[in-house]
């Protein structure tokens, strides 16, 4: 069983590329799509180039959580804005925000404000939850601590013996593949020129600034380029002399067939995560495991990641080399040329194999927590490459050494929920408008100005 949604899928967005536009967005994940739409709604002429398929990589492979809970304090205000935008998008597509039924595109979106629950296996977990809650005091988020009895009331059929939890009733869920595809349709209707199977091979520079891009289908003149290329961003930027300490980890996920209603929202403990799906099944994932491929970039960034490794080393399986064609594979070319086929064309969709051993362990833990269900039958398994940063927050900033270039990457697995709000923020940054949020934590210069990198919450 593998990730099912790309089998036989052909590009849907094949718009004719213009010779010139205002802004080119590189990457058709949720950040790129929502940024492009936000710019178009402000009157910009926008082209979005995606080397593979819209949401072909991590934006469709995530858990489907839309959460304020556990966010870095600097991200939380943007996430709160994003949640309001999700409600607006659900209404636009004909979906309700509650637990009721929806129809048509709204039903496919699967947006429901059914809550996010962090579950404590031991008292130390409760201390971590409280520390996060204290760090966002005064923000207005409705998160609160739960006792063991309150957890049992929310998940009454569990035998896991959780000692308590952290609960945000206003948090939500949606179906990732459907959501980003639907949002791309909205963007196209608003005038965004979207072209799938169209890699941007390199920037076109003139007098030290952005003058356009060279795609596999030809050149596009523009004044601004936004790199929202997920796990591929570092490879693209480094070829233009811009170094960012971005790496990627592999996260394995699975889907079950229909199951009894265990919990309507999304929940996670130390061992596994589960989220109710619109089809009546659950999305399941290990709560304590990622895989990391060691490549040239990993060696370069070892010092940057040392503090984070100390926190996550026991949850990360090290692999000696990435599969051929991956961004940090030993054989992947690091130089880009507009006249040559690029690494982005050689591997249209980053589709790693899931770690079946980790998923088997997760199934057994789920069965122990819900013995009346037993070991759930998995109808599909997949994996995604999550781009990460040493401090677990993204880069959202202009690039001083290349005027006209904006970096929007490193969402660290948090991009799906925050996508609509971050898209609005990036659009405002691109246009030189007032952003409305403190963006200092996301600045590019933090990696070069001597700042001490403090990892954000990994809850």
CATH fit for domain 23-447, picks 3.30.70.1290, 3.50.50.60, 2.60.40.1150, 3.30.70.360 = 3.50.50.60
Residue 446 φ then ψ, to 5° = -65, -20
pTM (whole model) above 0.85: yes
Place of tokens 């051929």: 324
Residue 74, both tokens? 């600097």
- Residue-level pLDDT at 96: 53
Burial of 302 (0-12, 13-18, 19+ CB in 10 A): exposed
Task: Note down pLDDT in tens along the chain; length 459 residues.
Answer: 344 456 567 899 999 999 999 999 999 999 999 999 999 999 999 999 999 999 999 999 999 999 999 999 999 999 999 999 999 999 999 965 444 334 467 789 999 999 999 999 999 999 999 999 999 999 999 999 999 999 999 999 999 999 999 999 999 999 999 999 999 999 999 999 999 999 999 999 999 999 999 999 999 999 999 999 999 999 999 999 999 999 999 999 999 999 999 999 999 999 999 999 999 999 999 988 889 998 999 888 888 887 776 666 567 888 888 999 999 999 999 999 999 999 999 999 999 999 999 999 999 999 999 999 999 999 999 999 999 999 999 999 999 999 999 999 999 999 999 999 999 999 999 999 999 999 999 999 999 999 999 999 866
Q: How many angstroms separate the CA atoms of 7 and 2, rounded? A: 10
Q: How many angstroms separate the CA atoms of 194 and 126, rounded? A: 46
- Residue-level pLDDT at 99: 40
Q: Are 183 and 105 in contact (CB under 8 A)?
A: no
Q: How many angstroms separate the CA atoms of 42 and 224, rounded? A: 15
Q: For 371-417, give the secondary structure using H, E and C.
A: CCCCCCCEEEEEEEEEEECCCCCCEEEECCCCCCEEEEECCCCCHHH
Residue 59, both tokens? 């934006």
Positive/negative CA dihedral, 67, 72, 73, 77: negative
Residue 204, both tokens? 């076109």
Q: How many angstroms separate the CA atoms of 168 and 61, rounded? A: 23
Short-list 91, 376, 419, CA closest to 256: 376
Write down the H helix ranges in 241-370.
296-300, 302-312, 343-346, 356-369
Short-list 60, 117, 71, CA closest to 274: 117
Residue 229 region, left (φ>0) first, then alpha (ψ -120 to 50), else beta?
A: alpha
How many Cβ atoms are within 10 Å of 447's Cβ, its own excluded? Answer: 18
Q: Are 58 and 382 in contact (CB under 8 A)?
A: no
Say what the alpha-carbon torsion angle 63, 69, 73, 74 is, to the nearest 10 degrees: 40
Contacts of 256 (CB under 8 A, 6+ apart): 281, 282, 284, 376, 377, 378, 379
Place of tokens 């934590």: 441
Q: Where are the domains of the chain?
A: 23-447
- Residue-level pLDDT at 303: 81
Q: How many angstroms separate the CA atoms of 211 and 254, rounded? A: 43
Beta strands 172-173 and 282-286 are unpaired
Q: Are 222 and 66 in contact (CB under 8 A)?
A: no
Helix, strand and coil in the chain, % to nearest 5 = 30, 25, 45
- Residue-level pLDDT at 328: 95
Q: Are 34 and 234 in contact (CB under 8 A)?
A: no
- Residue-level pLDDT at 3: 47
């Amino acid at each position: 069983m593998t990730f099912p949604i790309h089998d036989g899928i052909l590009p849907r967005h094949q718009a004719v590329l213009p010779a010139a536009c205002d802004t080119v967005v590189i990457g058709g994940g949720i950040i790129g799509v929502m940024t492009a739409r936000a710019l178009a709604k402000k009157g910009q002429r926008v082209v979005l180039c995606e080397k593979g398929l819209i949401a072909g990589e991590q934006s469709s492979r995530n858990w489907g959580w839309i959460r304020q809970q556990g966010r870095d304090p600097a991200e939380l205000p943007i996430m709160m804005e994003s949640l309001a935008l999700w409600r607006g998008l659900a209404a636009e597509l004909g979906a309700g925000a509650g637990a009721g039924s929806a129809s048509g595109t709204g039903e496919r979106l699967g947006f429901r404000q059914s809550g996010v629950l962090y579950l404590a296996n031991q008292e130390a977990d409760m201390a971590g939850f409280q520390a996060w809650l204290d760090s966002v005091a005064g923000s207005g988020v409705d998160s609160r601590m739960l006792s063991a009895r309150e957890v049992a009331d929310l998940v009454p059929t569990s035998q896991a013996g959780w000692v308590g939890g952290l609960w945000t009733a206003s948090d939500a869920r949606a179906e990732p593949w459907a959501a980003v595809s639907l949002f791309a349709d909205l963007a196209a209707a608003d005038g965004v020129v979207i072209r799938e199977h169209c890699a941007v091979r390199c920037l076109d520079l003139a007098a030290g600034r952005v003058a356009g891009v060279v795609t596999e289908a030809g050149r596009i003149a523009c004044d601004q380029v936004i790199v929202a290329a997920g796990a591929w961003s570092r490879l693209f930027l480094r070829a233009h002399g811009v170094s960012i300490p971005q790496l990627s980890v592999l996260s394995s996920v699975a889907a079950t067939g229909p199951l009894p209603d265990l919990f309507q929202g999304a929940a996670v403990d130390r061992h596994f995560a589960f989220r109710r799906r619109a089809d009546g099944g659950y999305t399941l994932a290990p709560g304590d495991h990622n895989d990391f491929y060691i490549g040239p970039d990993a060696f370069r960034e070892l010092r940057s990641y040392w503090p984070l490794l100390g926190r996550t080393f026991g949850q990360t399986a090290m692999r000696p080399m990435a599969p051929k064609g991956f961004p940090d594979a030993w054989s992947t070319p690091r130089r880009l040329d507009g006249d040559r086929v690029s690494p982005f064309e050689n591997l249209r969709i980053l589709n790693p194999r899931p770690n079946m051993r980790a998923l088997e362990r997760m199934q057994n833990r789920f069965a122990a927590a819900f013995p009346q269900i037993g070991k759930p039958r998995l109808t599909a398994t997949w994996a995604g490459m999550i781009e990460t940063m040493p401090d677990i927050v993204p880069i959202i900033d202009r690039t001083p050494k290349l005027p006209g270039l904006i970096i929007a990457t490193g969402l660290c697995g948090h991009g799906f929920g925050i996508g609509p709000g971050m898209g609005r923020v990036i659009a405002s940054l691109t246009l030189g408008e007032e952003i409305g949020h403190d963006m200092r934590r996301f600045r590019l210069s933090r990696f070069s100005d001597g700042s001490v990198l403090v990892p954000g919450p990994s809850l």
